[in-house]
């Protein structure tokens, strides 16, 4: 078993839980203009539209549940004697609900809101709107979903690069490899001498950068791979 493991997940790990991916046929970015719903400029132009987009997704969390891939990753963390860092681009809460602990949400979380007026962060499970006052500063109109939009810096990059720089095994699961900086993590891990593996439904845009690629649905290929690792094969 490798001493230090870093795992990057994307929308594909949640697809079989009923969460839409972004770039597959019929995916979120074929139905919504990302410039309108996932940029600071879009939010400034039409906050109600942006709130509606994320409110739908936040309220949908209670209708979905982790799948076998999320549970397998939590099992791997629990059974791994070394360090395991799970970095997700997903804003859903399925990894934590499956039991993952050392989890980094690099694109933020649907269940959190941040106030652009006072900078305070809050657990948030209901709808957001321009009328809702911030629990800290009491100003209305400042709260936004605590998610990273295009043009914004992903969260916890220092912690992520530190883990990648000390990594023996790097797995990328269910991500198309089309959004930076996450798409570059494989190169960073390779530089650190890690064995790199892609687990995805089909070859991603960056699959040529990996030492090994396993293609199939996450709910099948991730548990299989985790069992092999835990058995030391």
Q: CA–CA separation, 124 vs 133, rounded Å?
A: 13
Q: Kindly tell me the sign of the dihedral angle through the C-alpha atoms of 118, 123, 128, 134.
A: negative
Q: How far apart are the first and last CA of the chain?
A: 8
Q: Applying CB under 6 A, does 12 fall inside the site for ligand OAD?
A: yes
Binding residue for ligand OAD (CB under 6 A) from 66, 142, 145, 174?
174
Q: Applying CB under 6 A, does 67 fall inside the site for ligand OAD?
A: no
The site for ligand OAD, by CB under 6 A, has a size of: 27
Q: Applying CB under 6 A, does 206 fall inside the site for ligand OAD?
A: no
CB of 185 to ligand OAD, least distance (A): 12
- Beta strand 169-173 with 195-200 is parallel
Q: Applying CB under 6 A, does 135 fall inside the site for ligand OAD?
A: no
CB of 34 to ligand OAD, least distance (A): 6
Q: Applying CB under 6 A, does 37 fall inside the site for ligand OAD?
A: no
- Structure token digits, residue 143: 């709260």
Sheet arrangement for strand 83-88: 103-105, 83-88, 4-9, 169-173, 195-200, 212-215
Given the residues 51, 70, 95, 107, the one annotated as active site: 107
Binding residue for ligand OAD (CB under 6 A) from 5, 8, 15, 86?
15
User: Which is closer to ligand OAD, CB of 4 or CB of 196?
Assistant: 196
- Beta strand 195-200 with 103-105 is unpaired
CB of 132 to ligand OAD, least distance (A): 22
Instruction: Name which of 143, 145, 140 is nearest 112 in CA terms.
Output: 145
Q: Kindly tell me the sign of the dihedral angle through the C-alpha atoms of 136, 113, 180, 221.
A: positive
User: Which is closer to ligand OAD, CB of 134 or CB of 160?
Assistant: 160
At 17 the three-state DSSP class reads helix
Residues forming contacts to ligand OAD in the complex (CB under 6 A) are 10-12, 15-16, 21-24, 27, 38, 89, 107, 148-150, 174-176, 178-179, 200-202, 204, 217-218
Please give the positions annotated as active site.
107
């Amino acid at each position: 078993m490798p001493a230090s493991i870093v795992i990057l997940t994307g929308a594909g790990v949640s697809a079989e839980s009923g969460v839409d991916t972004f770039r597959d046929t019929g995916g979120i970015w074929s139905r919504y203009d990302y410039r309108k719903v996932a940029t600071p400029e879009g939010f400034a132009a039409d906050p109600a539209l942006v709130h509606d987009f994320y409110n739908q997704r936040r309220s949908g969390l209670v209708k979905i549940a982790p799948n076998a891939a999320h549970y397998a990753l939590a099992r791997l963390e629990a059974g791994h004697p070394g360090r395991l860092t799970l970095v997700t681009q997903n804003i859903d809460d399925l990894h934590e609900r499956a039991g993952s602990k050392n989890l980094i949400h690099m694109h933020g979380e649907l269940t959190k809101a941040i106030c652009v007026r006072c900078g305070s962060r809050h657990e948030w499970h209901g709808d957001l709107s321009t009328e809702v006052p911030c629990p800290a500063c009491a100003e209305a109109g400042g709260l936004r979903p605590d998610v990273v939009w295009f043009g914004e810096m992903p969260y916890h990059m220092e912690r992520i690069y530190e883990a990648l720089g000390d990594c023996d095994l790097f797995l990328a699961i269910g991500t198309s490899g089309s959004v930076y900086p996450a798409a570059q993590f494989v190169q960073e891990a390779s530089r650190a001498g890690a064995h790199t593996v892609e687990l995805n439904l089909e070859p991603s845009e960056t699959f040529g950068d990996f030492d090994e690629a396993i293609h199939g649905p996450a709910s099948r290929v991730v548990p299989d791979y985790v069992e092999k690792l835990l058995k030391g094969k």
